[in-house]
Amino acid sequence: MKQALDVFEGKHVVDTDDYSDKEAFEAMGLLKDDGSYPPLKIGTVNYLPGVIANVYPEGIGGFKTNKKGAVFFKDIHYGPSPSTTSDQSKVNIFFAEKAPERPTKDLQLGTLGVSEVVPPLIIPPDTVMRVSTRLQLPQGHDISLLTVNPHMHLLGESFKGYALTPTGDTIRLVNIPKWDFRWQYFYTYEKPVVIPGGSTIVAEGVYDNTSNNPNNPYDPPQTIREQDGSMRTTDEMFQFILTYVPYQSGDEHIDLTAAKGQLLK
């Protein structure tokens, strides 16, 4: 298959409310000459004002790419503004002298991810609803979990994530008994959490679509559905994103806080 002749020839920004994914790729000139999608290296990254970047110890992190390519961000969220304004955000990319030894990998459970939300994320009005999503890791493929990111919207009430091992143990990963939509964060452990292959990753969430929820975007409450790619705040999402590397002996002793401590200095 032929690659696109120039990955920078199309639009640099498109409004995803106006385009399907394929139409957006076409408008941005990212499709191959035969109309197929280019290979994508998918990574889960977000930034909020005040957030400190994840920095892992030497040898962990980074990604490899071809010389001919582009960095593609799926969405940029903005708050309402009373006047027309502009955005001067920038993204810095740092090139290493050598290829990454252990590039990080991502697993995204739930909305737009590799596991379904059960029951489907359709929340009737005047309802408190529990949902879950789960994924079993392949046998024999232990992972070293570095960072987790729970994600819900305005109706979120609580979030819990854990792993069930083949031997019947439970590994606690995150517990947010009082969800706050305004506090979306990536949580990095002090040391990698080793999860044995064959374990099942489970995320559980509770949504409050009643008038008792002060963050409910509708009064009276209305049926809220899982977002379909629009990324509207008034729709809902249930995601559990895990950043990890395949396990190597000694990972459980790595200090993940040291590199971030150096950054803060």
What CATH number is given to the structural domain containing 178? 2.60.120.230
25-40 burial, b at 16+ Cβ within 10 Å, e below that, comes to: bbbbbbbeeeeeebee
Q: Is residue 256 included in any domain, yes or no?
A: yes
pLDDT of residue 263: 52
Q: Is residue 16 included in any domain, yes or no?
A: no
Give the β-pairing of 224-225 and 122-123.
antiparallel
pLDDT digits (tens, 9 = 90+) for 240-263: 999 999 999 999 999 998 876 555
pLDDT of residue 99: 84
Q: Is residue 230 included in any domain, yes or no?
A: yes
Q: Which domain holds residue 227?
A: 105-264
Q: Residue 107 in contact with residue 241, Cβ under 8 Å?
A: yes
Q: Is residue 80 included in any domain, yes or no?
A: no
Q: Which two three-digit tokens encode residue 20?
A: 């399907």
Q: Is residue 26 included in any domain, yes or no?
A: no
pLDDT of residue 130: 98
Q: Is residue 172 included in any domain, yes or no?
A: yes
* Residue 74: strand, helix, or coil: coil
Q: Is residue 14 included in any domain, yes or no?
A: no
pLDDT digits (tens, 9 = 90+) for 187-219: 999 999 999 999 999 999 999 999 999 999 999
| One pLDDT digit (tens) per residue for the chain, 265 residues | 345 456 677 888 888 778 777 788 888 887 777 878 777 776 777 777 667 778 899 889 888 777 777 777 777 777 778 888 888 777 778 888 888 899 999 999 999 899 999 999 999 999 999 999 999 999 999 999 999 999 999 999 999 999 999 999 999 999 999 999 988 888 999 999 999 999 999 999 999 999 999 999 999 999 999 976 666 889 999 999 999 999 999 999 999 988 765 555 5
pLDDT of residue 254: 96
Q: CA–CA distance from 253 to each of 60, 112, 165, 187 (Å)?
A: 14, 33, 20, 18
Indicate the pTM of the whole model.
Answer: 0.85
Q: Is residue 225 included in any domain, yes or no?
A: yes
pLDDT of residue 183: 84
Could you tell me where the DSSP H helices lie in the chain? 21-27, 257-264
Q: Which two three-digit tokens encode residue 8?
A: 């920078």
Domains in the chain, number:
1
